[in-house]
Structure formats: C-alpha cells, structure tokens
C-alpha cells in the first residue's frame, strides 16, 4: 500500500504529482502541511523541487 493511500484512509487530503514541474504547479495552489518527494522524479528531482517549493511559499 502506498503512503498516499494510507494517508487517505486516515482522512487526509492527498495531492500527487508524477514529475517535478507538476509538483511545483501544485505548490502554487496548495499550501501543504507535509511534502513527500521522490529524489528520482523526471525533470526536476525531489531536491530541486524542495528548494524551489520553499521559495514559492515565501
């Protein structure tokens, strides 16, 4: 079972992305309490998304 499904079963709202650029688009619309990133995402990796995502949150 995926982490997302476990969170959803515990009544948490989950937003997914399959690529780093898609994750950044989601950051613009959703202010997450928790972010789980894959360091092997296509395009931007998890480390790059984290850095850029923090800047978007400012």
Q: What is the mean pLDDT of the chain?
A: 86
Contact between 14 and 36 (Cβ < 8 Å) = no
Judged against a pLDDT cut of 80, whether residue 55 lies above it is answered with no
What's the mean pLDDT in 6-12? 96
Domain boundaries, the chain: 3-56
pTM: 0.70
Q: What is the pLDDT of residue 51?
A: 86
The string of pLDDT tens digits covering residues 16-48 is 989 988 988 888 888 888 888 888 888 888 899
Question: d(Cα 55, Cα 18) in Å, to the nearest integer?
Answer: 21
């Amino acid at each position: 079972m995926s982490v997302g499904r476990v969170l959803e079963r515990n009544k948490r709202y989950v937003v997914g992305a399959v690529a780093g650029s898609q994750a950044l688009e989601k950051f613009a619309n959703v202010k997450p309490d928790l972010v789980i990133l894959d360091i092997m995402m296509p395009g931007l990796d998890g480390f790059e998304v984290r850095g850029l995502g923090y800047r978007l949150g400012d």
